[in-house]
Amino acid sequence: MSGYRFLLSGKWLLWFLLACAAAAVAVYLGGWQMDRNDHLVGENAKITQNYRADPLTGDEAAAQFTALDERLTWHPVTLTGEYLTEDQVLVRNRPQDGRVGYEVLVPFRTQDGDVVVLDRGWIPTGSAANGMPDEVPAPPAGEVTVTARLQPGEPAVDRGAPEGQIATIDLEELRERWGLPIGTAAFAEVFAEDPAPAVAPVPPPEPEIDSGPHLSYSLQWYAFAALFFVAYGYAARQQARNDEWDRQYAAEMEHHLSQFYDEDGTYIGEGDEELVIRQMEMADDMPPHLKSLMRPKPQRRRTRPTWEDEEDALLDALERDAAGSGRADR
């Protein structure tokens, strides 16, 4: 291990710390991507289990709007009551089918007196220059039975909206806006009304089940974390080999030049001593990047002899035969 003592130098300790820091960041990002993948797996499971389940009814359905069980997201509920149409609002900037439009929110009072928020569906932006919808379909009047799917409320945003509109489905904001004791844990997306209106907003499309690339990204980040140490080890191995080649080169030069002087330091060479001295100075002062030019190149191992090897072997055999015949004649 003496060839790796350079690893204790400040330079190589710094490289090791950088590799550790880079690996730690990669592991963190890998875990972050894995968490996102786990979240999507959980959401996909909710869609699969709940989207076409039998609707919740009565108190069980109403209770979800005040204390939503996250496992019941996308689960249908059936409610009977009446729309409070005077408090209807539009949620702006909602794209669907390649167009920008609005979602229509209306408070709904059930037969038991609970007030919940229902999203009746999507309407497109109108043709007028002001960006408003041409018409907002009215909900059925009187007693209505609706079937809708549960959704958690959306976070608040620091963005305003024109009169009669909101920027996000922030249930706390809607409670303050309407002054009604609405449930703030969930709202529901309507997909059926009885009696059915003549014209209704477009219901939301069925969600896609897609886990995305997060799992593969996570594995890539974990692989990067390992590769940082592989790269560090490879660089250390190359440095050790380069140092060994430098020592071999210096030893070979010293052996080569020693033949020009005896033990007393007297010059015994046949050529000009000045040239030998210049060679010695060049060997002592040669920087590593020039010494690397003298390092041996790794030889590729041949698995079978070339035709030149076969020819040399044949000539050697003929010479041995000739030499043997000459000794026999004598």
In which region does residue 134 sit, left (phi positive, over 0), alpha (psi from -120 to 50) or beta (all else)? alpha
> Quick one: pLDDT at residue 294?
47
Q: What is the pLDDT of residues 126-181, one digit of tens each?
A: 877 567 888 899 999 999 999 999 999 999 888 888 888 999 999 999 999 999 99
pLDDT at 290 over 60: no
CA gap 20, 29 in Å, rounded: 14
CA 18 to chain centre: 21
**Measured on CA atoms in the order 29, 33, 36, 38, is the torsion positive or negative?**
negative
Mean pLDDT of 47-73: 94
- pLDDT at residue 307, rounded to an integer: 65
- Say if CB 259 and CB 269 are below 8 A apart: yes
pTM for the predicted model, two decimal places: 0.65
**Tokens coding 37:** 């993948």
Query: What kind and span of H or E run contains 151?
Result: strand 144-152
Band the pLDDT of 299: cuts 50, 70, 90: very low
Report residue 240 CA to chain centroid gap. Answer: 35
Measured CA to CA in angstroms, residue 101 lies from 116, 264, 288, 327, 328 at distances of: 23, 100, 69, 109, 110
pLDDT tier, 295 (very low <50, low <70, confident <90, very high otherwise): very low
Instruction: Give the pLDDT confidence score for residue 329 in this predicted structure.
Output: 56
Q: Which of 136, 112, 95, 5 is nearest to 60 (CA)?
A: 112
pLDDT, mean of residues 266-287? 71
- Residue extents of the structural domains in the chain: 7-50, 58-194
**What is the structure's pLDDT at 297?**
46
Question: To the nearest whole number, what is the mean pLDDT of the chain?
Answer: 85
pLDDT in tens, 206-220: 998 888 899 999 999
DSSP codes, 9-71: SHHHHHHHHHHHHHHHHHHHHHHHHHHHHHHHHHHHHHHHHHTTSPPB-HHHHHHTTTS--GG
> Rounded to 5 degrees, what angle do the CA atoms 226, 229, 235 make?
140
**For the chain, what is the radius of gyration of the CA atoms?**
42
- DSSP code string of 275-323: HHHHHHHHHHH--HHHHGGGSPPPPPPPSS--HHHHHHHHHHHHHHHHH
Whether the pLDDT of residue 95 is over 50: the answer is yes
Question: CB of 156 within 8 A of CB of 128?
Answer: no
Tokens (6 digits) for 218: 């996570």
